[in-house]
Amino acid sequence: MQHKRKRRWVGMLFLAAILSGSSPQWLHVNKSESIASGSPANGHLEKGWLTPYRGKNFRYFSPISYWLMGSGYTHSKVHRTLKESYAVCERTCPGAVFRLMECSRKKGGKMLIHYTHRNGLSVDFMVPKTRKGRQTRRYDHIGVWHYLLEFDPEGRLSFDAATSIDFESMARHLLALDDAARANGLRIRKVIFKLNLKDDLFKTPSGRQLQRRNIYFARQLPKRVDDVHDDHYHVDFEIR
Ligand SMILES: [Zn+2]
């Protein structure tokens, strides 16, 4: 009996800790325009907007990152850009479901594992994947562990070569992001994607369009940065 009561108390304390940790997100309301200061690598965010946890064709990738760590905030202009780009993808990538990865914290500043993401203008996007010619989401549910997935230079998943990056859908999403950014007073400042995967992206029909638009993709990266940008693409926006 004693044990049972103890377990119940521990369970309740655990639940209370989770609820209090996530309460800023539960209680958050997006209002008035955000203010970004400094750069993605050394900046802050005021009045950050929380991205929706899910939409019709997109999801945030991790409840821990979103609710507990509060890493799903962006600048209000980026917020609108994300939503509009996914609305366009409903038409250009029918049936596809995309995943947003880490954004910024409510007030920006330093974040675990990221060098940037500090002023609400950086967003990570999970690579969409295919298997036997169809979209697969079997590895989309692993939360923060997705950052550890590795892909070979052809875009095949290291331990499951039948699963590979859907470069065409990724390019269509980036085109939609570019259009939506311009419509919201932003522009894409830089995309970081593993250097040896860029040729596969630019080979696709939509990838060729991306190249024609002259969107800047990082051309040189320190190895430690290059190595971790195969499972996701990082986008820095800039206010025009
Ligand atoms: Zn990033």
Contacts 24+ apart (CB under 8 A), 108-117: 108/36, 108/43, 108/44, 108/45, 108/48, 109/44, 109/45, 111/71, 112/69, 113/147, 115/41, 115/225, 116/39, 116/40, 116/41, 116/234, 116/236, 117/40, 117/71
What is residue 115's predicted lDDT score, i.e. its pLDDT?
83
What is residue 11's predicted lDDT score, i.e. its pLDDT?
79
CB 184 within 8 A of CB 81: yes
**What is the distance of C-alpha 232 from the center of its chain?**
7
163 vs 114: which has the higher pLDDT: 163
pLDDT digits (tens, 9 = 90+) for 192-240: 999 999 999 999 999 999 999 999 999 999 999 999 999 999 999 999 9
pLDDT digits (tens, 9 = 90+) for 157-170: 999 999 999 999 99
Distance 122 CA to ligand 1 centre (A): 6
Of 9-23, 35-49, 75-89, 133-147, the range with the lowest mean pLDDT is 9-23
- CATH number listed for the domain at residues 31-239: 3.30.1380.10
Rounded mean pLDDT, 38-42: 89
Model confidence, pTM = 0.92
207 vs 2: which has the higher pLDDT: 207
Distance 232 CA to ligand 1 centre (A): 8
pLDDT class for 46, splitting at 50, 70, 90?
A: very high
CB 110 within 8 A of CB 118: yes
pLDDT class for 7, splitting at 50, 70, 90?
A: confident
Distance 218 CA to ligand 1 centre (A): 13
Distance 162 CA to ligand 1 centre (A): 26
CA distances from 14 to 94, 231, 234 (A): 41, 32, 34
Please state, for a pLDDT cut of 90, what percent of the chain lies above it: 82
Distance 40 CA to ligand 1 centre (A): 10
What is residue 98's predicted lDDT score, i.e. its pLDDT?
98
CB 25 within 8 A of CB 63: no
Distance 26 CA to ligand 1 centre (A): 24
What is residue 111's predicted lDDT score, i.e. its pLDDT?
87
Strand ranges (E), the chain:
35-39, 42-46, 49-50, 58-60, 73-74, 98-100, 122-126, 129-131, 134-136, 156-157, 160-165, 186-192, 232-239
pLDDT class for 110, splitting at 50, 70, 90?
A: confident
What is residue 21's predicted lDDT score, i.e. its pLDDT?
67
Please state, for a pLDDT cut of 70, what percent of the chain lies above it: 98
- Per-domain boundaries in the chain: 31-239
Distance 220 CA to ligand 1 centre (A): 16
What one-character-per-residue DSSP string does 163-230 give? Answer: EEE-HHHHHHHHHHHHHHHHHTTEEEEEEE--GGGHHHHHHSHHHHHHHHTT--B-S---HHHHHT-S
CB 116 within 8 A of CB 229: no
Mean pLDDT of the chain: 94
> What is the rounded distance in angstroms from the CA atom of residue 82 to the CA atom of residue 183?
12
